[in-house]
Structure 1
């Protein structure tokens, strides 16, 4: 068995972070696994992938919109003898679904990483998506909520969809239950319409002035969030850190982790925070809430007052310690090794 994961880009996001841990975990379980990236502009993880011994292919066009992509994908698959082609994110899904018709001897699989995307806001894209997902023998969904929304959107047979939750590299993130030392909060998330940074910033205005917030990540909505920080005179309390490859260390040093999202397929950042023992407060939405549950705190989507209430409830030292301990316990059920095993089981089943 030889697997090629194909992804749109290596920007800061859940799918990109997942593969960074998933591919080495699959390799340790005895299969050959490599990565193909359509577009490396704006990449954040490429060097990290190479440091972990992962072979990374890039395409000559280096453009996720190029019509040459399916031909390049099919060529790499054929010349290197891959038996499984596994696509992630929309542009990789589109071009790999076309590449299938250039090389039908390979098993084509895709993973759906979100409960929502912009295409689902316009009915005309339903026809395109039906074609895309029909091309794959199996669609893996990262949560029950992701599976439910996809089946509803493209009317897929539930037999074609397999739910495999994301996993976390527990060795890197796992911590011990901790006591609260300060009021330092952190949100690790790309700046994207799927995320709700503004509610967190507006909550800062209502929190005591000794609360500090660090925002880790980059993206298209960052400037709008920065403007809100300036308008609310919070520049001395809100820090924009940009991209960081020291996520585990940052989480362990923080007192509270926030994950505020408009929609979310899974919530890998929240899971990583829980693993470090940092009490985690997240939006009460499908996908994210399913992962965190009672092990963290849920606030109503976009409700500033509810978020403030949940954050300040952690000032109770006993309650804080309980949530720290509960988060670690819950995270142990989501190991990257188990995720890798389940993916490999799907590959084997589809190759029969």
Structure 2
């Protein structure tokens, strides 16, 4: 069986990180897998994909917004003679849904990675989305919340939907339950409207001065978050590290991980923190809460004092150790090998 994953870009994001582990895991299970990236501008993962021996195709236009993608995608699909074409993120979903009218042979599938996006703020896009999703034989969603929101938005049939939780390469992150050694907080997340870095900063301003925060990631809202840090006089307590390919090591050097999100389909960064043994505090929003609940702590969206209270709960040594242990145990349910196997079963119609 030969599979082509198609993704919009290799910018910092959950879907991009997922495929970085998913494709090698599928290859280990005997599947011939390649990747088509529509736009390499702003990429941060390209070298990592190459290191893992993943064959990458890029349309000549190298522009996610160009209609020429339709014809160039169709050409790559025809020449590759794939059995399944599997898309991720909106631009790839759009252009592949049109390219399939030219390259008709493969089975077409897509994964929905979030419970919300800006298109769902306008009813005009509902018609477009109904057309896009109708082009796919199967729609894989990463959580029940993601499936429910997609059905509510597009009216797509439940028969077309399969739910497959994201996974991570546990061996890369796995740690032992540990005791707290300091007050270092870390948040690994792109700077995007879906994330809520500001609440983390405002919570830090209420915490004792021994507490620090490290933000790992890049993105469009980074400058506004930096301005907020200056306004709150937190310059010496906040580090903006940018993109890093050493997340596992960074998690183990910090004491608490926070995933503060306005909306989230799943929460790979939260899962990575749990696997590393770093206690996780996350926003109580669907998708993210389903992964963290019971294994970490949840705080109300935008509630600064609630986040402060949850952080200070972890000052208790025995409670901290228990949450570290709970996170590791919970992460074992989300191995990338299990995710890869479930995807392959769907490809084969099992």
Question: Do the two structures share a fold, i.e. TM-score over 0.5?
Answer: yes
Aligned counterpart, 2:111: 111
TM-score by length of 2: 0.99
Secondary structure of 1:234's match? coil
Structure 1 stretch displaced more, 126-135 or 71-80: 71-80
Aligned counterpart, 1:239: 239
Provide structure 1 residue ranges, at least 5 long, that are not aligned to the other structure: none
User: Structure 1 runs of 4+ off > 4 angstroms?
Assistant: none
Aligned counterpart, 2:330: 330
Structure 2 distance, partners of 1:171, 1:57, is 28
TM-score by length of 1: 0.99
Structure 1 distance, partners of 2:11, 2:341, is 26
The answer as to 2:151 corresponding to 1:151 is yes
Structure 1 distance, partners of 2:147, 2:80, is 32
Note the C-alpha offset of 1:217: 0.3
Note the C-alpha offset of 1:31: 0.6
Note the C-alpha offset of 1:80: 1.4
Secondary structure of 2:49's match? helix
Secondary structure of 1:86's match? strand
Aligned counterpart, 1:281: 281
Structure 1 distance, partners of 2:328, 2:98, is 42
Matches within 5 A, 1:284-295: 284-295=284-295
Structure 2 distance, partners of 1:85, 1:115, is 23
The answer as to 2:246 corresponding to 1:254 is no
Note the C-alpha offset of 1:90: 0.2
The answer as to 2:345 corresponding to 1:340 is no
Aligned counterpart, 2:217: 217
Secondary structure of 2:349's match? helix
Secondary structure of 1:349's match? coil
Aligned counterpart, 1:55: 55
Aligned counterpart, 1:207: 207
Note the C-alpha offset of 1:83: 1.1
Note the C-alpha offset of 1:219: 0.4
Provide structure 2 residue ranges, at least 5 long, that are not aligned to the other structure: none
Matches within 5 A, 1:30-41: 30-41=30-41
Structure 1 distance, partners of 2:104, 2:35, is 20
Aligned counterpart, 1:303: 303
Structure 1 distance, partners of 2:327, 2:203, is 23
The CA deviation string for residues 92-119 of structure 1, in whole angstroms up to 9 with x for no partner, is 0000000111111110000000000000
Note the C-alpha offset of 1:81: 1.1
Structure 1 distance, partners of 2:137, 2:80, is 21
